[in-house]
Amino acid sequence: MKINAMEFLIFILIFSNLSCISLSKDRQYYDAMEDVKSGSLDFAFMKFNNYLREHPNSTYAPKIRFAISEYYFQTKDYRDAIDELTKYIINYPNEKNTIFAQAIFYKALLDYRTEPLLVEKLKEAFFSKSIFLIFSDSKTKSYKSILNNNYKIVDYIDKIEVFKNDELLFEIAP
């Protein structure tokens, strides 16, 4: 099959445009990540927000939304944290880090001292699955967010402990 010059040119143009779009998208993300690394969380937050506005369905979206929620929570903006985490839990029920979003949500509700019924329901959700601890007294799940926070949820027979950066965030029992 012979490709004439015009067809080749069109192919190159389309490919290069697509690449530019993709590169530009990734650059935005990495720019924000650079801010995270340098500790400029406010700039990172703004850039993540811009990124989501432009690319709401990106594969990075769940991670970024989680980071935005974390940012609100860290800056003690509980109202926005609760709103954002509610959306997160509803939109990404099956994400690996949803359980960690629930944990931050629970902590935000506790700190904000609102919605006691919702706190109870969340508590029930933490204990809604059977767990088998075979020859071990606990099971651990962990997640590192793009804001570089390490979260750990440790299930015991009678309680759950949630850690953030190896610091106990809270402990709950059924």
Partner 1 sequence: MSSFLKSRRNRILIVILSSLLIPLLFQTGISYILNKSKPRILGYLNNTFEYRFALGNISFNFLQGLHIKQASVFYNNQGKPTIFIKEAFIHIKILPLIFKRTIAIQADINQAQFLLNKEEKGLNLQMIFSDIYKKMPKIKPLILNKFKDRLDISIKFAKLIYTGNTSFQNYIYILIKNSKFKQESERFRFDSDIELNYQLSEDAYIARFFKNKSIKQEINCSIQGNIKGKDLIMDLILLNIGKNQIIGTGTTKDFRERNPYVDIAFMHSVILLDNITSMKDNFAAEGNAFFSLKINGPMNNTKASIVGTLLDCNLRYALANAESFDIKNFNGELDYGDTRIKLDKVYLKLNTVPLNIKLLINISDEPDIALSISLLREFLTAQNLPLARLEAVFNGKIKKTLQGELKLDALYIRRGLKLNMQAYFKNIDFDYSSREEKYFRAGVIELIKDNTLKIQKLSFTNFKSKVYLGKDRIELKELNFYGYNALLNGKINLNVGDKTALIFTLEGIGLDVKTLMQDINISNKLLSGSMDTKVMFDNQQKGFLEGECYIKDGVADLDLVANILKLPSLKKVNFDLLESHFSLSKETVRVNEIKLVSPDVMLNTSWDTNGKIDGILNLKIASGLLNQSKAFKRLLALTEIKKPYIDFSFLLGGVPDSVRVMWMKGEFKDKIKEGLPDWAKKRIENNLDKLIDGMANE
Write out the residues near partner 1 by the rule CB under 8 A.
Answer: 117, 120, 124, 127-137, 155-158, 173-174
Q: How far apart are CA 166 and CA 143, in angstroms?
A: 12
Ramachandran angles phi, psi of 135, nearest 5°: 55, 30
Helices 61-74 and 98-112, axial angle in degrees (round to 10): 20
For the CB of residue 93, give the shortest distance to partner 1 in the complex, in Å.
Answer: 17
- Provide, rounded to whole angstroms, the least separation between the CB of residue 171 and partner 1: 14
Place of tokens 């029992």: 173
Q: Which is nearer to partner 1, 87 or 123 (CB)?
A: 123
* Residue nearer to partner 1 on the CB measure, 93 or 174: 174
**Minimal distance, residue 156 CB to partner 1, in Å:** 8
To partner 1, the closest distance from the beta carbon of 37 in angstroms equals 37
Of 115, 116, 118, the residue nearest 102 (C-alpha): 118
Instruction: Determine how β-strand 167-172 pairs with β-strand 160-164.
Output: antiparallel
In the complex, what is the shortest distance from the CB of residue 136 to partner 1, in angstroms, rounded to a whole number?
Answer: 7
| Residue among 94 and 128 whose Cβ is closer to partner 1 | 128
14 vs 131 by CB, closer to partner 1: 131
CB nearer partner 1, residue 113 or residue 129: 129
CA–CA dist 117, 70 (Å, integer): 23
Q: Is 39 helix (H, G, I), strand (E, B) or coil?
A: coil
